[in-house]
Structure 1
Amino acid sequence: MQQPVTGKFGRLEKDLFEMSMESAHSLVKKYGDTIDLVMFANAFGGEYSGETGLNNRISSALFDDPVPSIRIENTSSSGATAIHVARSLVDSGSAHSILIIGSEKMTSVNTRKSSAIIASLLDPLERSAGLTLPSLAGFLANMYMRKYGASRESIAQVSVKNHRNAIHNENAHHMKSVSLSNVLASKTIASPLRLFEFCPISDGSVSLLISGDEDAASMSGKGIRIAGSAMSSGLTQISMREDILRLEVIERSSSAAMEQAGIAPKDIDFAELHDMASILEIVEAEAIGLFPRGSAWKEVLDGSMDPDGIMPVNVSGGLLARGHPIAATGLAQAHEAYVQLTGSAGPRQLKDPHYGLSVNMAGFGNSATCIAYEAN
């Protein structure tokens, strides 16, 4: 994987096309002659921007000669899904070098409309009963605290940590720290979770290049290796799941990705997890096996997931503070893996990492894509 390019996340003036062109331009300028496929990861372009088929418009604008393009859509896991599919195509020999552009323009509508668009990924019957992604996160937090005796402060501390991490990420939506009292005093969204425990509505775009080992060796610049990638899908109907506290799609996808890479949880030096809500970082860390089930809340309080802890999680600021432009998120996680493993993360650089892991989840455990990264 060659150097990803990301712009600032947040409320941006540029439209979906302009953001996508901007993030892809430098990669095309440098590697354009080698690219034989463009993948455009985008979840809700039609709903937010009223435009579909944007992959063809982008491809034709970026290249003088025609380069085929496709759109990848897997709701909030669109970005990592595109990486997984691109890796499979390159490994099979069907393509040599694939440009992936992950973009979302979400601030073009008001918050109520945006919430309705995102809720469309839930099961229709459950949606009609009033379920939303925030309400599901609230249920999860209550169940987790009840089962494992977790303190309310431990879950809120995830937001404190990730906002603190984002101060050192110049592309983050929120580059401002929040205190524990700030988090707990913010507006209740889905009890017990508060406003600062949910990701903001963000615009953003990230582009990267996936190439085979032989092609990557001939390219200038640093690269990292995708050592493993796997997808898993689960029941869309949350009410039909045996245990909502078990995110089985993450258990399966992370296990398969680590098996491909020949590593175990103890070998991972850092993880970028899908913290759409604060409680999800805790439950996902346990699903991967980074910590025993029911214990991650204590590890948050002890600082184990801090950048200088035994298992740094969401050093980029995560979705909570970096932002969550839906289809760009999986690529933003890959960007963080790249800068960490090439020693180019600046003030948030970890000490000598060799393996990183990312989890990009669709919906509320409807699907998940896990990617293991290795330094060259």
Structure 2
Amino acid sequence: MLDLLAEAGVECLEDAGADAMDIEHLYVSNMASGEFEGMTGVMNALAHDLGAMTAYTQRVDQTSSSGGADIYAAWQSIASGASEITLLVGGEKTTHQSTADTTDVIASIAHPVEYKTGVTLPSFAGLTARHYLERFDAPRESLAKVGVKKHKNGVDNPNAQFQKKVNLETVLESPIVADPLRLYDLCPITDGSAALLFCPESVAQEYTDEYAVIAGVNGATDTHVVHEREDPTVMGGVVESGKGAYEMSGYGPEDIDVAELHNMFTILEFLQMKGLGFAKQGEAWELVEEGYMERDGELPINTSGGLKSKGHPLGASGVAQGVEIYEHLVGEAGPRQVESDVGLCCNVGGFGNCVITTIMEAAR
């Protein structure tokens, strides 16, 4: 865990041309280092390993949206004037545990009443996917095409866990996990880390002419008990966090050039597209059929490969979304590059229990 955090932190500082001793605030987004590795206090240990011992440290845990929540916290540290240099590092180490043990830790995100009945997040996703397909008369292939797209994008991401294409037949014939969802509809268990450096724009200009600005960021919470939601296909946390981020930034859905959505299950891409205003209710699957979200489409979504191909290292995922959008805005996304001035990332905790939406724009 610490090795992962330190590697991302060092690379981020080197990329920015900053020194560890310049860090005033150090934030670590992590969901479960205690459960997975029996280690707490990771933020203090990281400060030691980076050589940033004078910095104020804080660990942010908001389950699988920890990374997005930490972007919000790091932005607040700068916006409030409390810090001029804030380093955010997100990470998770899980693959050394068995699949059953890792699934159990992740399932603890659910409400205790749900958890004790054996409910896991894939089961929520399967139930929701079945409801969506039947309610909106969507073909099963539309979900499979989301998986195919993510693997195609992951090929060009050197940091993706899976860098190979899959075809529609492979997805549709993979083992069933939570009907109708199959293996290629779900994200893998992942180790990983990512980092971002935050500072006032005036300070950024001392380092470089190419940087990205947080134009809007907002968080929201939905019902913790999933079956209490009025409509299971509407993620209230996505709707409300997106609304707040749009209002703060002055942008709307039509202004977004590239987006990273939290699609640990293929069905979540459809639900977030609706919640963020990219699609009307029940029509996201039609946009998939039209190629709307492809890299060369109207709105490229998950050019990184998304959580299915890039991987889902829990506490790092929201930070990695921010890194992907940043790279597009400064023109450093390599073969994944999309011409863009404004990007959005949406990081989801649990099954929409808590959500952070961030809008970033290129420096002007």
Output the CA distance in 2 between the equivalents of 1:54 and 1:212.
26
Distance 1:28 1:343, change over 3 A: closer
1:202 correspondence with 2:190: yes
Task: Give the aligned partner of residue 2 of structure 2.
Answer: 17
What does 1:140-289 correspond to in 2, within 5 Å?
140-220=128-208, 222-289=210-277
Task: Give the aligned partner of residue 98 of structure 2.
Answer: 110
Q: Which amino acid aligns with 2:2?
A: F
Task: Give the aligned partner of residue 57 of structure 2.
Answer: 69
Q: Which amino acid aligns with 1:356?
A: G
Q: Which amino acid aligns with 2:7?
A: E
Task: Give the aligned partner of residue 332 of structure 2.
Answer: 344
Structure 2 stretches lacking a partner, 5+ long: none
Q: Which amino acid aligns with 1:85?
A: A
More displaced, 23-32 or 331-340?
23-32
1:315-357 Cα shifts (integer Å, max 9, x gaps): 110001100000110111011101111111111111x211100
1:358 correspondence with 2:345: yes
Cα offset for 1:64?
Answer: 5.8
Q: Please, what is the CA RMSD of the aligned residues?
A: 1.1
Q: Which amino acid aligns with 2:124?
A: L
Cα offset for 1:66?
Answer: 2.0
Q: Secondary structure at the residue paired with 2:64?
A: coil
Q: Which amino acid aligns with 1:19?
A: L
Cα offset for 1:251?
Answer: 0.4
Output the CA distance in 1 between the equivalents of 2:43 and 2:237.
29
Task: Give the aligned partner of residue 315 of structure 2.
Answer: 327
More displaced, 166-175 or 31-40?
31-40
Output the CA distance in 2 between the equivalents of 1:54 and 1:319.
24
More displaced, 66-75 or 111-120?
66-75
Cα offset for 1:270?
Answer: 1.1
Cα offset for 1:65?
Answer: 4.6
Q: Secondary structure at the residue paired with 1:165?
A: helix
Cα offset for 1:130?
Answer: 2.2
Cα offset for 1:38?
Answer: 0.4
8 Å CA contact 1:49, 1:108 repeated in 2: no
1:160-179 Cα shifts (integer Å, max 9, x gaps): 01101111101000001111
Cα offset for 1:259?
Answer: 1.2
Distance 1:130 1:36, change over 3 A: same
8 Å CA contact 1:90, 1:97 repeated in 2: yes
Output the CA distance in 2 between the equivalents of 1:366 and 1:144.
19
Structure 1 stretches lacking a partner, 5+ long: 1-15
Task: Give the aligned partner of residue 360 of structure 2.
Answer: 373
Q: Which amino acid aligns with 1:149?
A: D
Cα offset for 1:91?
Answer: 0.6
Structure 1 segments of 4+ aligned residues over 6 angstroms from their partners? none
TM-score by length of 1: 0.94
Output the CA distance in 1 between the equivalents of 2:341 and 2:56.
34
Q: Secondary structure at the residue paired with 1:374?
A: strand
Cα offset for 1:274?
Answer: 0.4
Task: Give the aligned partner of residue 40 of structure 2.
Answer: 52
Cα offset for 1:243?
Answer: 1.3
Cα offset for 1:155?
Answer: 0.9
8 Å CA contact 2:43, 2:57 repeated in 1: yes
More displaced, 212-221 or 364-373?
212-221
More displaced, 190-199 or 30-39?
30-39
Task: Give the aligned partner of residue 11 of structure 1.
Answer: none
What does 1:101-140 correspond to in 2, within 5 Å?
101-140=89-128
8 Å CA contact 1:60, 1:67 repeated in 2: no
Task: Give the aligned partner of residue 296 of structure 2.
Answer: 308
Output the CA distance in 1 between the equivalents of 2:145 and 2:117.
31
Q: Secondary structure at the residue paired with 1:31?
A: coil
Output the CA distance in 2 between the equivalents of 1:222 and 1:18.
29
Q: Which amino acid aligns with 2:185?
A: E
Output the CA distance in 2 between the equivalents of 1:342 and 1:213.
15
Q: Which amino acid aligns with 1:251?
A: V
Q: Secondary structure at the residue paired with 1:239?
A: helix
8 Å CA contact 2:13, 2:197 repeated in 1: no
Output the CA distance in 1 between the equivalents of 2:206 and 2:108.
44
Cα offset for 1:215?
Answer: 1.6
